[in-house]
Amino acid sequence: MLVPLIVVLMFSFFSVVATYLAVVERDLVNSAVFMALQGVCYALICYTLMAPDVVVAYIPVSSGLLPIMLLAVLRKTERYER
């Protein structure tokens, strides 16, 4: 009965860490990977909040399509900021 609470605690803590690292990181490829990681954490939180349609719509978008398009754009523009 305590399992949903433990899952939510752990993965919301991971999502804060992933968001902070995604914003602070200079190498933008690492930033894209942290964005995908944050998407997985949010998908698990949504699953615990009993929203399966949102999970199935969110995982391909945030962990599949957007990082791949970001990597394609980074190949053409600058990879390191500043």
Partner 1 sequence: MSELPVAIVTVVATVVTVNVAIAIYGIFSRPSLIKKVIALVLFTDSVNILAVIVGFRIAGPFPSPPILPGQPAKPEDIGVFPARSVDPIPQALLVTAIVIGLAVSVFLLGLAVLYYKHFGTTDTRVIPEVEEAEAPK
Partner 2 sequence: MRRRDLAVAVSLASLSIALGAVFSLGGLGVIPASDLRGLAGSVLKNTFNPWSPNLTAYSLNAVAAVMWDYRALDTILETAVLFAAIAGIATLFRGIREPPSFRLRGLTLVVKASTRVVIPLIIVAGISLAIHGHLSPGGGFQGGALLAVAPALVVTVFSVGAIYVAGIRARTLLKARYLALLLIVLTSIAIPIAATILGARGYVLQNMGKADAPLSMPAWFFNTPLAGSIFVFNLLELIAVSIGLTYCLLLMSARMEDIRDSLAGDSVYE
Note the residues at the interface with partner 2 (CB under 8 A).
52-53, 55-57, 60-61, 64-65, 68-69, 71-73, 76
Report the alpha-carbon angle 32-36-23, nearest 5: 50
Q: Could you tell me how many residues make up the chain?
A: 82
Hey, what are 49's tokens? 């909040």
- What's the CA gap between 66 and 33, in Å, rounded? 10
Contact between 22 and partner 1 by CB under 8 A: the answer reads: yes
Contact between 63 and partner 1 by CB under 8 A: the answer reads: no
Site for partner 1 in 26-55 (CB under 8 A): 28, 31-32, 35, 38-39, 42, 45-46, 48-54
For partner 1 (CB under 8 A), the number of binding residues is: 44
**Angle at which helices 28-48 and 66-76 pack, to 10 degrees?**
170
Nearer to partner 2, 2 or 50 (CB): 50
With CB under 5 to 8 Å by kind, the binding choice for 68 among partner 1, partner 2, none is partner 2
